[in-house]
Amino acid sequence: MAAWGERLAGVRGVLLDISGVLYDGGEGGGAAIAGSVEAVARLKRSRLKVRFCTNESQKSRADLVGLLRRLGFDVSEGEVTAPAPAACLILKQRGLRPHLLVHDGVRSEFDQIDTSNPNCVVIADAGEGFSYQNMNKAFQVLMELENPVLFSLGKGRYYKETSGLMLDVGPYMKALEYACGIEAEVVGKPSPEFFKSALQEMGVEAHEAQRRAPPGSQG
Amino acid sequence: MAAWGERLAGVRGVLLDISGVLYDGGEGGGAAIAGSVEAVARLKRSRLKVRFCTNESQKSRADLVGLLRRLGFDVSEGEVTAPAPAACLILKQRGLRPHLLVHDGVRSEFDQIDTSNPNCVVIADAGEGFSYQNMNKAFQVLMELENPVLFSLGKGRYYKETSGLMLDVGPYMKALEYACGIEAEVVGKPSPEFFKSALQEMGVEAHEAQRRAPPGSQG
């Protein structure tokens, strides 16, 4: 393995994942992963630019940053790239009004979005919100549209909580894709557009960036 | 369109689907589809053999036949080929002990099956039983197996109830396939083995049979 100095030659910025890299979610909010608080602090003291790029879609950015700060991380809301704000931008640009199947914790990110008479569906990691009734409602909304549009905030298979593995949004995206015979548009990792927007916000080109994601993750 | 006499030349038996062909499910059990009670009666008066071949997996065969008889159909339990009994046969043959994610109405079909210390998962149209918690449990059981085996009783996308379209087992099968990176074994339509067993039970070869399924169905 090359020394860090060599591996980082030409690198100007670092994109850090959050769940599974900085902390594992779970009871009471979760726990910082050993060494990660200090690693972030060291990166911030270095010449490198740092940005946090997450598919977290159970919490608003404000709530996520609040949790991370309580765990000891030096992070502010403006340093976080997350799928819900990216989705809001797309919805506004394309004049779409979503039916939302999302966790209550992230609903506030959509406060400025018109959700009347929906002409698309947005799903995110809804956790317990992925009831049969809620999934069937999202399915029925899609089937009533002439041109069904489904956005999925990420497409992760599962994630780790302190209590064990948990189904992420990806399996539910696949379920609706199969039920309706459509393909979802993924907002968030691993979509290249999402990474590009994170780099833009950091002011760094792709070849100048180094990314750190959890092993086996979709992004 | 050829006359029926011509179309049925050489045909010795008829496989009839049940849901969406004989009746639509819904409030109070559902309603017979116009003309279907008389059509079954005419077939039974004819020289043709008749068998009912269903992916219904919310009800035991006894409950299904009870419902059909109340709706006026001439049908007995021994005339019905259904996925749950077919799955039980496979489980016994292969020495598998299932974790069941099925509707309470069909659980009695598995009364003779050992479900301790599960080494596979069986899913069927569980309706409201497809909660996040139940899906996550099935997922966790699969992920803990060295060789995860998933059986799906059918793989229909959706079905029609009098109240509207309802998600079938197929989307949930796709969800678990994606989450675990595996492929399910489908028991029921459109599996060729399932049709063959129905024909065997009727004593008819495939080229001698005519099938009637709902438009757009998976089987």
CATH-assigned architecture of domain A11-82+191-212: 3-Layer(aba) Sandwich (3.40)
Report whether B100 contacts B122 (CB < 8 A): yes
| pLDDT surpassing 60 at residue A1 | no
Report whether B213 contacts B194 (CB < 8 A): no
Amino acid A187: pLDDT: 96
| Residue from the list B131, B139, B167 with its beta carbon closest to the beta carbon of A136 | B167
| pLDDT surpassing 50 at residue A219 | no
- Residue A145 distance to chain B (closest CA, Å): 14
Q: What is the pLDDT of residues A63-97, one digit of tens each?
A: 999 999 999 999 999 999 999 999 999 999 999 99
Tell me the count of A-B CB pairs closer than 8 A: 87
Residue in chain B lying closest to A171 (CA): B175
Amino acid A69: pLDDT: 97
Instruction: Write out the DSSP string of B173-204.
Output: HHHHHHHHT--PEEESTT-HHHHHHHHHHHT-
For chain B, strand residue ranges (E) read 13-16, 23-24, 31-32, 49-53, 80-81, 98-101, 120-123, 150-153, 158-161, 164-167, 185-187, 209-212
Establish whether domains A11-82+191-212 and A83-187 are of one fold: yes
CB atoms within 10 A of CB B11: 15
Residues of chain B neighbouring A157 (CB-CB closer than 8 A): 178-181
Amino acid A214: pLDDT: 66
- Residue A19 distance to chain B (closest CA, Å): 18
**Both tokens of residue A207?**
């070849």
Query: By a Cβ cutoff of 8 Å, what residues of chain B touch chain A?
Result: 126-133, 135-136, 139-140, 143, 157-158, 164-168, 170-172, 174-181
CA–CA distance, B168 with B155 (Å, rounded to integer): 7
Q: Mutating which of B123, B169, B178, B186 best tests the A interface, going by the most A Cβ atoms within 10 A?
A: B178
The highest-confidence range among A10-19, A155-164, B182-191, by mean pLDDT, is B182-191
For the domain spanning B83-187, the CATH number is: 3.40.50.1000
- Asked if A136 and B179 come within 8 Å (Cβ–Cβ), the reply is no
Q: At what angle do helices B169-180 and A169-180 cross, to 10 degrees?
A: 140
| Residue from the list B167, B172, B178 with its beta carbon closest to the beta carbon of A170 | B178
> DSSP character for A7?
H
ipTM reported for the complex, 2 dp:
0.85
Per-residue pLDDT band for A30 (boundaries 50, 70, 90) equals confident
- Asked if B140 and A181 come within 8 Å (Cβ–Cβ), the reply is no
| pLDDT surpassing 90 at residue A167 | yes
CA–CA distance, A96 with B109 (Å, rounded to integer): 47
Residues of chain A neighbouring B217 (CB-CB closer than 8 A): none
Q: What is the pLDDT of residues B44-60, one digit of tens each?
A: 999 999 999 999 888 99
Domain ranges (residues) in chain A = 11-82+191-212, 83-187
Instruction: Write out the DSSP string of A41-84.
Output: HHHHHSSSEEEEE----SS-HHHHHHHHHHTT----GGGEE-HH
Asked if the B12-82+191-212 domain carries CATH number 3.40.1190.20, the reply is no
CA–CA distance, B9 with A209 (Å, rounded to integer): 71
Closest CA to B98 of B121, B78, B81: B121
pLDDT average per 10 residues of sequence, chain B (219 residues): 70 91 86 96 94 92 95 95 94 97 96 97 97 98 98 94 91 98 96 90 83 60
Closest CA to A192 of A53, A4, A49: A53
Strand partners, A32: A23
| pLDDT surpassing 90 at residue A57 | no
Q: What is the pLDDT of residues A5-14, one digit of tens each?
A: 777 788 899 9
Amino acid B215: pLDDT: 58
Radius of gyration (Cα) for chain A, nearest Å? 18
A88 residue type, one letter: C
Amino acid B19: pLDDT: 87
Amino acid B2: pLDDT: 56
Amino acid A215: pLDDT: 58
